[in-house]
Amino acid sequence: MPGFELFGDKERKEVQDVMDSGVLMRYGFDAMRNGHWKTKELENGLAERMQSKYAHAVSSGTAALTVALASAGIGAGDEVIMPTFTFVASFESILALGAVPVLVDIDDTLTLKPQAVENAITPRTKVVMPVHMCGSMANLDALKAICDKHGLLLLEDACQAIGGTYDGKPLGSIGDLGCFSFDYVKTITCGEGGAVITNNKAYYENAHKYSDHGHDHIGNNRGAEGHPFLGYNFRISEMNAAVGVAQVSRLDEFIAIQKRNYTILREALSSIPEIVFRTVPDGGEENYSFLNFFLPTEDISKKSHQALSENGVDGCFYWYNNNWHYYKKWEHLTNLKSLGNLPKDVKESLPDYSKADFSESDKWMSRNISCLIKLGWSEEEAVQRANTMVEAVKSSI
């Protein structure tokens, strides 16, 4: 991770096809295309690789979440349960529809704690959104059972976990809907892009229309297409999709490299008895994009993170103090800072997060260090890095 580290001839070839045709838009201009439909190729490749009936590409992972929620009819006042550890896009996509983000605790998987989800359900709850942060997954069996019990939608935010599996199935394909991000720092990238996958035809039909101003995409005359409902513009460009076509075809190659480098680091760090690695649910396999581990205390974790940085080990994160990924620094959500007036449902229904008790999440996040696994490392470089990491962490305990 990320896929841009290994850009090569495949990516250049796909982009050149688009440049030669001159058509950068995914719809229309049939005669000019020379048979090139890169977004359709990307969608077909994703659907096949993710073992899903349908895939629809959009402009970002944030757009994918927004479109997925909208395609299932989520709107004003509906509650969506999400974790305290994620990226801000998770609650942004919910708020964009006038829905209400309900934050709940994580556990040692660094994803949704099933009992916390159960406790947060109200008559207004419509969706449970596990976020498979840093390449690994939530306990999807437990969450699916909760959703089935209460008649809720299970939406997998797999934006950071493409290539991971659960019970042999690709992450993103297990819930009612799954979402991916293909931004510049993801395991596979389009530069900017995202996708929604589903086995539900109605959700797919809604998704491709909603993300293109409500166009029904019937016939071959774009100007004559119908508009069955309101939509917006979340289209991906053919240029971005072209990069994605090449990258999706290389996903297994990337995962294999990540697994090798991850394993080297994990085996080395296993020599430190104070380290406990993140829990991966039974039946799950990470995509190996991050190595996550816990140290005994917050103080030791801070010292270890500082020591790693001082010893030249870049790409290790202490998310507990991070502005973008953990609830503690989401003042703009807590204080409802918005350029325009927020919907009444949001103002009246959003929990007061300034008074929320997320001590269970704090217990895990304050002791966690998360290390990016790069594709560009040689095996020798990974070994050298692992040795440096071991010495840095030992010096802090």
Q: Which among 109, 382, 367, 368 is positioned nearest to 262, based on CA atoms?
A: 382
What CA dihedral angle connects 68, 61, 179 and 231, to 10 degrees?
20
Q: How far apart are CA 58 and CA 69, in angstroms?
A: 14
Burial 136-165 (b: 16+ CB within 10 A, else e): bbbbbbbbbebbeeeebbbbbbbbbbbbbb
Full DSSP string of 30-55 = GGGSTT--HHHHHHHHHHHHTT-SEE
Instruction: Determine the straight-line distance between the first and last CA of the chain, rounded to whole angstroms.
Output: 29
Q: For residue 186, indicate whether it is catalytic.
A: yes
CA distances from 172 to 19, 98, 156, 348 (A): 32, 24, 5, 32
Residue pointed to by tokens 């395609």:
71
Q: How far apart are CA 331 and CA 91, in angstroms?
A: 13
CA distances from 40 to 57, 63, 77, 208, 245 (A): 8, 18, 34, 12, 9
CB 380 within 8 A of CB 287: no
Selected catalytic residue, list 113, 126, 186, 328: 186
Catalytic residues: 186
